Amino acid sequence: MSHLEQFLANLKAGLTDLPSEVAADVLRYHSDYIADALSAGLEPEQILRRLGSPEQILAATRDELAIEDALRKVGPLGLLRTSRRLIGRGLSRAARSVALALLSLAPLLAAVCFYLSAAVLLLGGLASGAAVLYNLALHRAVLAGIEIAGQVGLAVFLTAACLGLAWLFWLSGQGFARATLLLLRKIANKQPPTGLRTTAAPAGHKPVRRYLTVALAVFLLAGFTLSALADLPQTYWRLWNSQKPADVRLETVMLDEPVDRLSLVLLNTDVTLRPSDGPQGRLIYEKLSYVDLVWRLTDGVLTLEEQSNGRLPFFHWLSIHRGTTSLILDVPLAAAGSDLDIRTISGFVEVDLPCRQATIRTSSGDITVRRADLTDNLDLVSDSGRITVVPVTAGGS
């Protein structure tokens, strides 16, 4: 058996695990190549050097098959599997494939980023919709019919919006993945010729894309309309831009005993503490429909907490924005002053009364303490706001 016959036999033996039509194409190509080369007067050794070894041809054939399979059904797993297979081999086989291998890394990384973003948006959309529905189930007893419809619409809108963005990111990932695979095909084409007949990648499923786009648009419109009927988008917009809400209601509560200790937990309401002119104190509070103020005065201890009542989902997340409502507390002081413990997210705190000690924490609001004696025990923390301490003057004012 000649070297050329041995070459074809070894090649045929290595093709047994591949599809029959692929094996036939590869064998036919190399048989015809050898016949034409012999007719042209080339020596068998020259022909074998040009063709490469059967192992190289088999590896190149499998590379091309992997690329064709990935192009028929573009996706993240096929992209990563094919890239790992081709880029490493391209870098190690031929110097002129290095540039293509490095060039293919750019769309590969872009595709991975878009795929990951699509996954995050998909999970985020489902989670946000589920969070709104959970809030609805938790507070359904205190919600009116239009508020229930609005929160259902909000859940639909958020889910559809995130799914739509996830779909766009997925399509972008598909585009970058296809570009990566086409560059990898060029790397494969610089390997020994295989004779494998490549096929064009099929077009995307346009009807499915069209139906999905229409469905998402319908859900977006329906969800936004329902939520707008309950004034949710407008409320979120005003809160985001720190605008005065339209439904503020002024409430006043009288305090009939001295306050020895104050404990306040607020969201984004500005609070001002000042001494009362008489034995009675007063609480003046600008109340929002979606926030409740729970307070209690017992044995000189005043506790006050601002709580979301479920009418505005995600209010705790958005309370980091500066609020426009205020709380003024005229405190009937105990003889030795009061102890203060104030916690707020973004509300501004102004204290204008004598106190034994004060602990004030805020994330983004300003803190101002007046009438502070130099011996006062002050623990003031504002993550991004300003802290101002005005000491008491020699005259006591």
pLDDT digits (tens, 9 = 90+) for 243-260: 887 778 899 999 888 888
Burial bucket for residue 262 (CB in 10 Å: 0-12, 13-18, 19+): buried
Q: Which of 124 and 37 is assigned the larger pLDDT?
A: 124
pLDDT confidence of 215, banded at 50, 70, 90? very high
More confident residue, 126 or 318: 126
Distance of alpha carbon 79 from alpha carbon 92, whole angstroms = 20
What are the residues facing 274 on neighbouring strands? 330
Residue 92 pLDDT greater than 60, yes or no: no
C-alpha–C-alpha distance, residues 90 and 94, integer Å? 6
The pLDDT of 44-70, averaged and rounded, is: 78
Q: Round the CA-based radius of gyration of the chain to a whole number and report it.
A: 36
| Token pair of 110 as six digits | 């872009």
Query: 193 near 56, Cβ under 8 Å?
Result: no
- Please, are residues 104 and 80 in contact by the beta-carbon 8 Å criterion? no
4-7 contact pairs (CB < 8 A, 24+): 4/34, 4/44, 4/47, 4/48, 7/34, 7/48, 7/51, 7/54
Confidence bin at 10 (pLDDT 50/70/90): confident
pLDDT at res. 94:
47
The contacts of residue 39 (CB under 8 Å, 6+ apart) are none
pLDDT at 18 (0 to 100): 80
pLDDT of residue 371: 72
Q: How far apart are CA 153 and CA 161, in angstroms?
A: 12
Q: Can you give the pLDDT at residue 200?
A: 47
More confident residue, 233 or 16: 233
Q: Kindly write down the DSSP assignment for every residue of 261-274, as one continuous string.
A: EEEEE-SS-EEEEE
Tell me the backbone φ, ψ of residue 20, rounded to 5 degrees: -60, -40
**In which element (H, E) is residue 79 found?**
helix 76-93
pLDDT for res 197: 57
Least trusted range by pLDDT, from 77-81, 183-187, 294-298: 183-187
Judge whether residue 265 has pLDDT over 90: yes
Q: What pLDDT, on a 0 to 100 scale, did the predictor assign at position 361? A: 93
Q: Which carries the bigger pLDDT value, residue 374 or residue 103?
A: 103
d(CA 348, CA 326): 9
Stretch 183-197: mean pLDDT: 63
Residues 254-269, mean pLDDT to the nearest whole number: 89
Alpha carbons within 13 A on the beta-carbon side of 260: 6
The letter for the amino acid at 117 is: S
pTM greater than 0.85 (yes/no)? no
Q: Strand, coil or helix: what is 299? A: coil
Average pLDDT, rounded, for the chain: 83
Q: What is the pLDDT of residue 91?
A: 46
Q: Distance of CA 35 to CAs 220, 290, 395, Å?
A: 65, 85, 114
Q: Residue 307: which of 348, 364, 252, 266 has the closest Cα?
A: 266
Q: Are 310 and 143 in contact (CB under 8 A)?
A: yes
- pLDDT at 252 (0 to 100): 92
Q: pLDDT (tens digit, 9 = 90+) per residue, 299-346?
A: 889 999 999 899 999 988 888 888 889 999 998 876 556 789 999 999
The pLDDT of residue 397 is above 50: no
Q: What is the pLDDT of residue 169?
A: 95
In the chain, the percentage of residues whose pLDDT exceeds 70 is: 86
pLDDT in the model for residue 357: 84
* Arithmetic mean of pLDDT, 345-370: 89
Average the pLDDT over each of 187-196, 273-282, 283-292 and give the range with the smallest value: 187-196
Distance CA 143, CA 157 (A): 19
Residues 223 and 156: beta-carbon distance below 8 Å: yes
